[in-house]
């Protein structure tokens, strides 16, 4: 990705900081550092202000930084110097009287160490808590980011199609998860976007079930929530139910309700629509069917460098959709002890509406698979 793109992002952030009246920001969130600089390592901060930008890292990344972000000034610390001391030295050079810190990703302990390290600064330095200003900028993807997410979707879908053709009744949830990860890598993914969820039967009532030893043949259905991560770091996120045998009529009923809710939510996506209204559009379908208390999470979340990003659909969400946002739509109904259904797709907000990026079939009859 051209360095000019990262410089453009930093300029956008500086403009936002100027409106907030903050002369400089210490970016501590690793994904935010990557988004602003192109650096893909860890344990590094970015100090950004008007007229300066310094990446603070350590000796492990000297060569990597030179390759990935040659246009940035760099402060390299060695093992004898903790991060807070390096921050204090760079800040003293910048001579800014106020420093914003990403409060959502900086621990109290780190904040206190930085505050102590800069306590003798001249002029005196005031630390100010700053919210998710970078994350809000990241919510709107540029063309290259959207292309990366499309790639992650293709990798995930190809992996799922392949694992669906080899799944057997004797395989455990964990074996299916591992096979799915392997197949996504074979189709070009760097790895999974997150640890896949493979939940058989009653375990599908756990929205974040961890794959275990339960066998696919122990029930007539299995919930799979998975995604791929590209070599560029971008992610996809999908969920489907696979019907592998005889299932209770109640499950087929809630499948229809969840699918109707998802389609209603997707239909509501367009620029200017409030996040809350999209959530409500889908949630109302589930509530009207009598299953409202069994849908306890938000309708969806943004995806990108992280699997959970801004914006987020929920009954209390603030904000509106804008072109370039990519967000999941994933209603679910979870019946404790009986099982659950969740259907999830990735949706791009376009200038005049939306585009569903994922294309795995999701009619109930499409969910039926033959297993050995």
Across the range 349-354, mean pLDDT stands at 98
Q: Is the predicted pLDDT of residue 94 greater than 90, yes or no?
A: no
Q: What is the model's pLDDT at position 122? A: 67
Q: In the structure, what pLDDT confidence band is assigned to residue 2 with cuts at 50, 70 and 90? A: low
Q: Is the predicted pLDDT of residue 1 greater than 90, yes or no?
A: no
Dump pLDDT digits (tens) for 169-183: 999 999 999 999 999
Please report the DSSP string for 37-94 in residue order.
H----SS-EEEEETTEEEEEEEGGGHHHHHHH-TTSEEEEE-TTS-HHHHHHHHHHHH
- E-state strands within the chain: 24-27, 45-49, 52-58, 73-77, 98-102, 126-130, 191-192, 197-200, 221-226, 228-229, 238-243, 300-302, 309-313, 326-329, 332-335, 339-342, 345-349, 354-356
Q: CA 84, CA 227: separation in Å to the nearest integer?
A: 36
Across the range 12-38, mean pLDDT stands at 96
Q: What is the model's pLDDT at position 202? A: 97
Q: Is the predicted pLDDT of residue 164 greater than 90, yes or no?
A: yes
Mean pLDDT, the chain, rounded, equals 95
The share of the chain scoring above pLDDT 70, in percent, equals 99
Q: What is the model's pLDDT at position 96? A: 85
Which structural domains are found in the chain, ordered by start?
A: 3-137 (3.40.350.10), 143-367 (3.90.230.10)
Dump pLDDT digits (tens) for 271-310: 999 999 999 999 999 999 999 999 999 999 999 999 999 9
């Amino acid at each position: 990705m051209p360095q000019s793109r990262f410089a453009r992002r930093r300029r956008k952030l500086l403009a936002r900081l100027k409106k907030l009246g903050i002369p400089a920001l210490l970016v501590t969130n690793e994904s935010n550092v990557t988004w602003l600089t192109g650096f893909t390592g860890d344990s590094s901060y970015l100090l950004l202000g008007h007229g300066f930008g310094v990446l603070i890292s350590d000796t492990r990344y000297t060569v990597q930084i030179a390759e990935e972000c040659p246009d940035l000034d760099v402060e390299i610390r060695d093992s004898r110097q903790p991060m807070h001391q390096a921050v204090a030295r760079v800040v003293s050079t910048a001579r800014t009287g106020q420093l914003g810190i990403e409060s959502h990703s900086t621990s109290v302990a780190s904040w206190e160490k930085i505050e102590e390290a800069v306590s003798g600064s001249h002029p005196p330095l005031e630390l100010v808590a700053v919210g998710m200003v970078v994350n809000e900028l990241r919510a709107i993807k540029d063309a290259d980011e959207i292309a990366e997410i499309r790639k992650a979707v293709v990798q995930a879908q190809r992996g799922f199609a392949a694992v669906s053709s080899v799944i057997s009744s004797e395989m455990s949830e964990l074996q299916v998860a591992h096979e799915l990860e392997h197949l996504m890598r074979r189709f070009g993914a760097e790895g999974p976007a997150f640890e896949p969820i493979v939940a058989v039967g009653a375990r599908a009532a756990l929205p974040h079930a961890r794959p275990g030893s339960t066998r696919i043949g122990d029930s007539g259905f299995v919930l799979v929530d998975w995604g791929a991560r590209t070599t560029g770091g971008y992610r996809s996120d999908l969920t489907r139910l696979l019907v592998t045998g005889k299932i209770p009529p109640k499950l087929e009923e809630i499948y229809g309700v969840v699918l109707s809710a998802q389609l209603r939510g997707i239909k509501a996506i367009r620029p200017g629509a409030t996040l809350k209204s999209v959530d409500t559009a889908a949630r109302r379908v589930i509530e009207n069917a009598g299953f409202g208390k069994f849908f306890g999470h938000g309708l969806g979340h943004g995806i990108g460098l992280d699997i959970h990003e801004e914006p987020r659909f929920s009954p209390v969400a603030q904000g509106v959709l804008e072109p370039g946002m990519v967000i999941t739509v994933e209603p679910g109904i979870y019946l404790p002890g009986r099982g659950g259904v969740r259907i999830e797709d990735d949706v791009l907000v376009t200038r005049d509406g939306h585009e569903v990026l994922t294309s795995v079939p999701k009619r109930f009859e499409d969910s039926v698979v033959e297993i050995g």
